[in-house]
Amino acid sequence: QVHLVESGGGLVQIGGSLSLSCAASGRTFSSYSMGWFRQAPGKEREFVTAISRSGASTYYANSVKGRFTVSRDNAKSTASLQMNNLKPEDTAVYYCAASNVALATSPHNYNYWGQGTQVTVSS
């Protein structure tokens, strides 16, 4: 069992930046590939990015590539998502999740989820 808690969401202007954190507790954090997803009102949960167990490999959705950066610190059992040049379409609840599948993009491959943190981008 892994318990995940996101933090760092909030309201930001267009072009601004936010950094999200995901703190894990329970089973060994480094055993899991980590992913970030987001869900806007009325839309399906959408893959944002994933990072491998060691942190050596990452994968991004085209919509965030070049603007978002995922990282992890296995010693601190945390994952982070740095979001730059934010756009209104980035507005959503952001979730971190843990998977036994490396760099999985489907939410069905993730076993554990955080409660989510709201990110709102406005003018």
**For the residues 86-106, what does the mean pLDDT come to?**
97
pLDDT tens per residue, range 9-22: 999 999 999 999 99
pLDDT tens digit sequence for 27-84:
789 999 999 999 999 999 999 999 999 999 999 999 999 999 999 999 999 999 999 9
Instruction: Round to whole Å and give the CA distance between 102 and 35.
Output: 10
